Amino acid sequence: MHCQLSSSLADGMVSWVRRRDYHLLTVGRQAYSSDQRVGVKVSPDGSDWVLTIRFVAPHDAGQYECQVSSHPPQALMVNLHVVEAHAEILGKPERHIHVGSSLHLECLLRGATEPPVYVFWYRGDRMINYDDERGVVVENKRTSSELYIHSVTRRDEGNYTCFPSNATPASVAVHVIQRENPAGLQQETNSEDESTSSTSATSKGEITRAVKSEALARRWSLELLFLSLVLLQVHWLCTVPTR
């Protein structure tokens, strides 16, 4: 925040005050705040006194006053509006993609006053910007970042997060679906049919053999019965006395 002085005020002591709580931030070239983010910069000719706040947060918003110890005292009010930058991944919060397809995610930086130092992409808690093994490609631009993965597998399923250095992150859930395989299903059905036919044929063969065995057993039983009757008749004839 700038406080520019005219030549008539150049010899005065400059102080910065936060109006919300009248907290003295700087006096001259020295910072008086316990907040290590606060500092002051002065132009070479002493005409511009700049209050600096690093890593600005929403609670820093409000009025700041530049005071000059002149006669009479002079003051300049500055209103600080803090816009919280955030990331946004275009599209739906859940994506469904088939195995073998390409995944493309585009992340936009909203409300940022300057480009990010970096944009990291995560799957779960793992940073994947440089995952060449999975074929990950990341293209960073001034206010956006794009993620590409060619020929996804089930291993690529998960929660993807775009994390810029100067903005709140954004996430989407990616579900990887196995493609249907009609040919495979037909082959499986044919195999089942063949198995059923084979089982049926085996059952019929076993039944036929069982019937034949039963018929043979009955035949042997009848022959043994006939032989027993013949032997019984011979025995009876031999035992009858002759007249």
> What CATH number did the domain enclosing 67 receive?
2.60.40.10
Per-residue model confidence (pLDDT) at position 192: 47
Residue 114 · residue 99 · CB < 8 Å: no
Last residue of a domain, one of 177, 199, 218: 177
Residue with more model confidence, 191 or 80: 80
Task: Establish if 191 belongs to a structural domain.
Answer: no
Do 93 and 162 reside in the same domain of the chain?
yes
Domain of residue 130: give its range.
Answer: 86-177
Number of domains the chain is built from: 2
Do 104 and 76 reside in the same domain of the chain?
no
Residue with more model confidence, 27 or 236: 27
Task: Establish if 227 belongs to a structural domain.
Answer: no
| 59-108 per-position pLDDT tens digit | 999 999 999 988 888 899 999 999 889 999 999 999 999 999 999 999 99
Do 96 and 75 reside in the same domain of the chain?
no
Do 9 and 58 reside in the same domain of the chain?
yes
Closest CA to 58 of 167, 170, 171, 169: 167
Per-residue model confidence (pLDDT) at position 1: 95
Last residue of a domain, one of 64, 80, 96: 80
| 11-62 per-position pLDDT tens digit | 778 999 999 999 999 999 999 899 999 999 999 988 899 999 998 888 999 9
Do 65 and 42 reside in the same domain of the chain?
yes
Do 72 and 106 reside in the same domain of the chain?
no
Per-residue model confidence (pLDDT) at position 116: 93
Q: What is the DSSP string of 16-57?
A: EEETTTTEEEEETTEE--S-TTEEEEE-TTS-EEEEEESS--
Do 71 and 116 reside in the same domain of the chain?
no
Interatomic CA distance for residues 110 and 86, integer angstroms: 5
Last residue of a domain, one of 177, 212, 234: 177
